[in-house]
Amino acid sequence: MDKQIVFDFLDEHKISYKKYFHEATVSVEDSKRIINIPDALGCKSLLVKDKKSDRYYMAVIPSDKRADMRGLAHYVGAEKFEFATAEKLNEYLGVIRGNVSPFCFLYPSSVSVGLLVDKKLTEVRVVRFHPCDNTATVSLSSVDFIKCMKFLDKTPIITD
């Protein structure tokens, strides 16, 4: 997905944001080294699947937090999550590994994907994400992030 689609969406909905361009980041360590946005919580987004069904969810958590696949699954009545395959990332979100972002919900096939958001994202002032392209970063208020998700018909399930 082209990052310009994200910028256009934010502009269209009058969401205040800042954009930063940088070399590609493929890991949390890269992000820490390359992206320096003071007071913005770095976040990672993971496409996960209920091991016993075909239900998919995007889990958005602080970049330095380890994903508890059993703990997250319990929020939706599942036993355990597993990571989605590269094929499912492309099918449901239109991206490849390293480019998953809540803004992937702009992709038409994402309609059936649920949203889990770590409560820390709602407790900080500013959050930051890739705009579906790991050569850029978007920072915006946590309040505006939740507004964006509502514009995309995504009601987040808040997790610990």
Q: Give per-residue pLDDT as tens, 41-63.
A: 999 999 999 989 889 999 999 99
pTM of the entire predicted model: 0.93
3-159: CATH number = 3.90.960.10
Q: Which residues pair with 76 in a beta bridge?
A: none
Closest-CA residue to 49 (of 86, 83, 98): 83
Tokens of 6: 């994200």
Out of 15-24, 30-39, 94-103, 141-150, least confident range: 30-39
Q: Which residues contact 106 (CB under 8 A, 6 or more apart)?
A: 1, 5, 6, 9, 132, 152
Contact assessment for residue 115 and residue 151, using Cβ atoms and an 8 Å cutoff: no
Strands 136-141 and 17-21: antiparallel
Strands 157-159 and 114-118: parallel
pLDDT digits (tens, 9 = 90+) for 77-121: 999 999 999 999 999 999 999 899 999 999 999 999 999 999 999
For the chain, which residues make up each domain, given as ranges?
3-159
